[in-house]
Amino acid sequence: MKKVLTAVAVAMSLSFAALSTVQAGPAEDLTAFQDHFKTAFKDVPFADFKDGAYALDPALKAQWEEMESSFPPYEPDIDAGKAIWEKPFKNGKTYADCMGDIKSIRTKYPYYDAEKDTIMTAETALNDCKTAGDGEGFVDKEGKPLLNKGKIAQLMAYIAMENRGGKINVATPEGKALDWYEKGKNYYYAKRGQLNMSCADCHTNNAGKMIRADLLSPAVGHVTHWPTYRSADGEITTLHNRFMGCNTMTRANNAKAQGDEYKALEYFLTYMSNGLEWNGPGSRK
């Protein structure tokens, strides 16, 4: 079974995106990463990367805009999410008690939590809050954690709507946060699975090209529009659900929603989208 590449191989695949031969830190990575897409898609205003593949194809964009202007498919999920947000827990407390003002939430996450030495994401914070309040987090019918879709995704839909327009602004990783950044960065560039593909293969090196019937989205802007109602799924799902989907499609081992790998990847990808607008919830094919 193929494991993550050695440091040398990772450095080689990194050379696709980072032209500098000097030991680069996150800030240099960010500039190189965003410059790659600005150069590859000169006609796309940087702010438009928040729309993903739709920023690259007018015909697809028109269909997406038709869905959004006629009746966004995620609206019932926003209503459901609002009801979840407002309902008190078994102990009488509410989400607002842990999370603060709803309009302050999206731009806070993800961040490095020094106390817990981990990346804190919005979903994990909400799940922790619910666990403290109800004695149980978001679970499926069998009582197993369900953190990639279902009620947590509906709650995220409400939060996303209330936070639309905020700017992505992850602080430059340093110290112990840098370890998590590197973890996420390595995950993004490492080859994995039966098809021996990395995230970068599609979303950095071939963004804008078709993979059979799908248009490959650029990695810059990946995180902005979650959770997303995907017509293919017929329900609203989270960012980590999409990571899981990609790994399944490329025939790689999957990781757990809100596990270390995906939290690190989310941290890396969100930092790489600094400057773009949060525009969830989203609607996709």
> How far is residue 147's CA from residue 237's CA, in Å, rounded to a whole number?
9
Name the DSSP class of 6: P
Q: Which is nearer to other proteins, 42 or 212 (CB)?
A: 212
Who contacts 273 (Cβ-Cβ below 8 Å, separation ≥6)?
A: 49, 168, 220, 221, 222, 223, 224
To other proteins, the closest distance from the beta carbon of 131 in angstroms equals: 25
Token pair for residue 167? 């700017």
Instruction: Give one DSSP letter per residue of 87-131, joined into a string.
Output: S--TTS--HHHHH--GGGSGGG-SEEETTTTEEE-HHHHHHHHHH
Could you say whether residue 60 binds other proteins (CB under 8 A)?
Answer: yes
To other proteins, the closest distance from the beta carbon of 212 in angstroms equals: 4
Report strand pairing: 214-215 vs 118-120: unpaired
Could you say whether residue 79 binds other proteins (CB under 8 A)?
Answer: yes
To other proteins, the closest distance from the beta carbon of 187 in angstroms equals: 18
202 is catalytic: no
Instruction: Pick the stretch among 36-44, 76-84, 108-116, 167-175 that binds other proteins (CB under 8 A).
Output: 76-84
The residue type at 272: M
| Footprint on residues 180-219 left by other proteins (CB under 8 A) | 202, 210-214, 216
What residue has token string 């329900």?
A: 235
Could you say whether residue 171 binds other proteins (CB under 8 A)?
Answer: no
Q: Which is nearer to other proteins, 119 or 197 (CB)?
A: 197
Task: For residue 111, list its beta bridge partners.
Answer: 120
Who contacts 55 (Cβ-Cβ below 8 Å, separation ≥6)?
A: 41, 44, 48, 49, 61, 218, 221
Instruction: Pick the stretch among 20-28, 64-72, 131-139, 157-165 that binds other proteins (CB under 8 A).
Output: 64-72
To other proteins, the closest distance from the beta carbon of 85 in angstroms equals: 15
Could you say whether residue 141 binds other proteins (CB under 8 A)?
Answer: no
One residue of 28, 66, 86, 136 binding other proteins per CB under 8 A: 66
Instruction: Pick the stretch among 27-35, 67-75, 172-180, 271-279 that binds other proteins (CB under 8 A).
Output: 67-75
Could you say whether residue 83 binds other proteins (CB under 8 A)?
Answer: yes
> How far is residue 58's CA from residue 102's CA, in Å, rounded to a whole number?
34
> How far is residue 239's CA from residue 149's CA, in Å, rounded to a whole number?
9
Q: Which is nearer to other proteins, 114 or 211 (CB)?
A: 211
- The secondary element (H helix, E strand) that includes residue 235 is strand 235-237
Q: Which is nearer to other proteins, 54 or 187 (CB)?
A: 54
Instruction: Pick the stretch among 24-32, 59-67, 104-112, 182-190 that binds other proteins (CB under 8 A).
Output: 59-67
Active site residues: 246
What residues make contact with other proteins under the rule CB under 8 A? 59-60, 62-64, 66-67, 70-71, 73, 75-76, 79-80, 83, 202, 210-214, 216, 230-232, 234, 245-246, 248-250, 285
